[in-house]
Amino acid sequence: MPTAPDETDVAIDVKTLMARAIDAIGGSERPGQARMAEAVDVAMRERRHLLVQAGTGTGKSLAYLVPALHHAVTGERPVVVSTATIALQSQIIRKDLPRIVEALADHLPRRPTFALLKGRSNYLCKHKMEGGYPSDLEPGALFAESAARGGERGERLGDQVKRLRSWAEETDTGDRDSLEAPVSDRAWRQVSVTGNQCLGQTCPLVQSCFAERSREVAREVDVIVTNHALLAVDAFDRHGIIPEHDVVVLDEAHDLASRVTSAITEHLSPGMVRGAVRELRSLGVAATALDDAGEELRAALEEMPDGRVIGDLPARMSDALTTLRTEARGAHADAKEAGDESLAGTAGARKAVRSILQEIIDVCERAVTPDEDDVVAISRSDATGRTSLTIAPMSVATALRGAILEERTAVLTSATLALGGRFEQPAGAVGLRAADRQDPDRRGGARNASHWAGLDVGSPFDYPRQGILYIASHLPQPGREGPSLDMLDHLTELIEASRGGALCLFSSRRGAELAAEHVRARTDLPVGVQGEDSMSNLVRAFAADDATSLFGTITLWQGVDVPGRACRLVTIDRIPFPRPDEPLVAARQERISERGGNAFMSISAQHAALLMAQGAGRLIRTAEDRGMVAVLDPRLMTKRYGSFLVQAMPPLWQTRDPQVALQALGRLAASG
């Protein structure tokens, strides 16, 4: 490894590189961005964790990518950049890194390189395309209309698979995101495999495998862009998918714990057992005992109520899981040499069914003897009525610290990382203690995996001059029945006053659909609704026409970046508290109460504050943007926790007067 440059020289180098990059992309110097870049550079050299809150408009990707490229090239050690969303991944890999590398290529010892790394199921599997794996479809499924998100409305599953086969002949990457027209998850599963199903080096097409090629490229580059789920699962299970690195940058870090929790949550359903039985029989393995065990699991699940399982499992459920585990182990052994080797797809079928069986075994073992922090729950799908058992960790803090932070330096950043200006909560979510916090400018001292610094660089926007926060305090408090008529009428008034250009955020899909119906029936303004088309098409249409409004749920709260007049009104139907009976929420609140804490403020209010901050942040995206955030829930004004939620949002000028709000929107609409 090359000797590190003198500390002073490194600091000058990074500052100079920032200036070169800003000049090359036609930007202007921003104090917050410069402060963040300096702190990131110090953290990487001092090997100390850093948490940075960088408000919208800071240009945080430039502030961490320049030091990351410098660190990787001068230290000959790759840096990993991880995000929560595909949208930010795409921005970094397609826009930010190409421009920055081009700007810095002549000012670094060599030209930096970068690559995108995703999980195996994101890539087309050539072996599966050629019949190397069994289909997971029931007879006739190819001729059914696609009900899953992603496919064109009314398009048959078979037509989607046909499109995928045509695309497979011309794609250079096999990456699902490079598809021009989206397909449903169900269609994609017909041409892809998971990591557990992959034959690995024994696959006859390994030399031309898209996923393997992406990993080979990643092993040779300076900056690897990936996602939180893959990063964490790879670190926890020691798969070695992501190359060795000593620095990781975690953007959208406010969503890190949630994404990781989802990635390692385990599920078990009778449908999984039936799928394994079907594949075993296709390989000539008798599976009657396993089938019977699956039926016993179904019967035991049907007897249990929805929600968290507190205490020991009922005897029937415990017995069903124990029997299923025993039968799955036997079937797993029987499948090892099963099938006719002369038939195409036998090896793939064996690997696929043994992967399912191992998952069944693992979940059964964990459910029968759960860890202290495991939350076991029963859930029923509203769409299908099917019941499943889930196991999730109450916290991933210890796991994240042990697998990621103890072995490398981490930079965590987000526009909404430290709600209320306090970093203790996000630090604790990744296993860092308040007592180990240091000044971000501190130099020297021994490396300690526990040390961290927190920094809030603010935002360059003049929020009170650029936007209004309107709290509709005259409306009735939201109930469980869905949107009230008063709320729907007032929402329609606001959208009419602004002549569209509204991003309307809802806590439920049903609420978004009802509101869209209401507005469409009373105005001639175009309205798009989540679920009516792919999200990318809906956002594209919203951005292209400043009279169009877009209605949707959680995806829109955090994943939309539409600057300019196209988004001049953001509405929030109700404070987005999590459901108190949601198993993880209930378990976490109970744990905090047992320790003498304020469970509501620590969990429910924190969750709501984060989403409120993210949702309101959709409005002002550039220094030229103007608009209004309208919260149609009077509790923001009438409840004691309201001030905490308001403090988490951008500091817009506030009003509770509906006439002031409507007149302001009218002027905004006329100004275009």
Delimit the domains of the chain by residue range. Answer: 7-113+221-261+397-458, 120-210, 270-385, 463-670
Question: How far apart, in whole angstroms, are the C-alpha atoms of residue 640 and residue 647?
Answer: 12
pLDDT of residue 73: 95
- Is 3 buried (19+), middle (13-18) or exposed (0-12) by CB count in 10 A? exposed
What tokens does 21 get? Answer: 């990059």
Work out the widest C-alpha separation in the chain, in whole angstroms: 77
pLDDT of residue 141: 42
Q: Residue 580 in contact with residue 426, Cβ under 8 Å?
A: no
Instruction: Find all residues with CB under 8 Å of 22, minimum gap 6, and list them.
Output: 28, 29, 62
pTM of the model: 0.88
CATH number of 463-670: 1.20.810.10, 3.40.920.10, 3.40.50.300, 3.40.47.10?
Answer: 3.40.50.300
Encode pLDDT of 386-400 as tens digits. Answer: 899 999 999 999 999
pLDDT of residue 12: 47
Domain 7-113+221-261+397-458 classified CATH 3.40.50.300? yes
Instruction: Find all residues with CB under 8 Å of 387, minimum gap 6, and list them.
Output: 269, 270, 298, 301, 302, 304, 378, 379, 380, 381
Encode pLDDT of 158-188 as tens digits. Answer: 888 889 999 999 999 999 988 888 888 888 9
pLDDT of residue 382: 67
pLDDT of residue 155: 64
Q: Residue 562 in contact with residue 539, Cβ under 8 Å?
A: yes
CA angle 443, 449, 450 (to 5 degrees): 90
Question: How far apart, in whole angstroms, are the C-alpha atoms of residue 549 and residue 294?
Answer: 47
CA-CA-CA-CA dihedral for 456, 461, 466, 470, to nearest 10 = -10
pLDDT of residue 446: 65
Q: Residue 81 in contact with residue 249, Cβ under 8 Å?
A: yes
pLDDT of residue 344: 63
Instruction: Tell me the three state secondary structure of residue 653.
Output: strand
- Indicate if 463-670 has the same CATH topology as 7-113+221-261+397-458: yes
pLDDT of residue 342: 64
Q: Residue 525 in contact with residue 495, Cβ under 8 Å?
A: yes
- Is 450 buried (19+), middle (13-18) or exposed (0-12) by CB count in 10 A? middle
Q: Is beta strand 307-308 parallel, antiparallel or unpaired with respect to 374-380? A: antiparallel
Q: Is beta strand 266-268 parallel, antiparallel or unpaired with respect to 387-393? A: antiparallel
Q: What are phi and psi of 651, to 5 degrees?
A: -75, 70
What tokens does 555 get? Answer: 């995806």
pLDDT of residue 9: 44
Cα–Cα nearest to 86, from 119, 53, 59: 119
Question: How far apart, in whole angstroms, are the C-alpha atoms of residue 463 and residue 348?
Answer: 57
Residues (pLDDT < 50) of the chain are 1-12, 137-150, 152-154
Question: How far apart, in whole angstroms, are the C-alpha atoms of residue 229 and residue 25?
Answer: 31
Question: How far apart, in whole angstroms, are the C-alpha atoms of residue 196 and residue 151?
Answer: 26
AA letter at 666 = G
